[in-house]
Structure 1
């Protein structure tokens, strides 16, 4: 039984938003870690 197109689009949109937020969080954490490492070495 196939799901309706609207449901599939909604699920895909929610997954994209979740992944986008996760990637953003990882990038911010890496940036903060790099900044701390730079300040610790100077």
Structure 2
């Protein structure tokens, strides 16, 4: 039983948004950690 294209596209879009938000959060956390490490060593 195949999914309609609209349903598949909607699921793919939601998964992309979820992953994009997760990656952005990791980037921000890593940037903050690097900033804290730089300020601790100087």
Relative to the length of structure 2, the TM-score reads 0.99
Structure 2 residue ranges without an equivalent (≥5): none
Give structure 1 stretches of 5+ with no counterpart. Answer: none
Runs of 4+ in 1 over 3 A off after TM superposition: none
- What RMSD in Å do the two structures reach over aligned CA positions? 0.2
TM-score, normalised on structure 1?
0.99
